[in-house]
Structure 1
Amino acid sequence: MARDIQITLDCADPAALAVFWCEALGYKVQDPPAGFATWEQALEAMGVPPERRNDASAVVDPAGSGPRLFFQRVPEGKQVKNRVHLDVRTAPGLDGDARMAALEAEAERLASHGAARIRREEPAPPLGAGHIVMADPEGNEFCLD
């Protein structure tokens, strides 16, 4: 039986990281519960104190096909390389210079939203199509592929 998955990221600022990943993936912040126009209204009604209202955030694929990303606040900062990372499929179907140009354009766009470029891996025969390794605003590695 296939299952839906959620990808959870530990972070210091769930709301800010959620906004970044919406930009990176074309996702949107998950809507508040029914009956509330905003998350602020929902959290107020739930009795969540103001200092705890950025403890978590979630983003979803507006088309409903991609996994939900959940961001949870943790006290410690990132310390080592990710063991699991996201590949953002930026240039499917493109090869060679056209592929790398599309990856470069996306790297620049995401850098303007707080991402950092780590390195570019050049295409290498027979299977290497090339990619760019990036980090989100909290240092979590991901690849533009």
Structure 2
Amino acid sequence: MITRFERFTLILFEIMKYWNKIASEIMKDEQLKGTHALYIITLYRFPEGLSAARLTDICQKDKAEISRSLATLETKGFVCKDGHYNAKVQLTKSGEALACHLNEIANTAVQQASQSLSKEEREIMYKCLSSIAENLRTISKEDLTR
């Protein structure tokens, strides 16, 4: 019998697996990884720019991953930044164009993936997922091994 933990974990992993596959497919034309899509879309929401530290917090990735990815995105001409970690990072015009393209595809994918849900069901789903995430964030700060 599958436990609630297994079911929950497997569903989340499956969602992430397929989203990463979609993102990787989109980004391969630019010789970028699927994870770069998250950073580009996030930076697009902040036209005034973000520090790498703030991007780390928002995307919940480690500092080294963000630094490597930003260096790659800068080399490819999608972002511009100063040399130090807390400098503001902004999308270039080509980065903004890629972000618009990514947003279109992401919106289409999310619409198609949730087409069998009513608006109310989607709202409940997001509320539940947010609640679970917040509860797990709190629990992760506790010592559960006692």
More strand per residue: 1 or 2? Answer: 1
Higher RCO (C-alpha 8 Å, min separation 6): 1
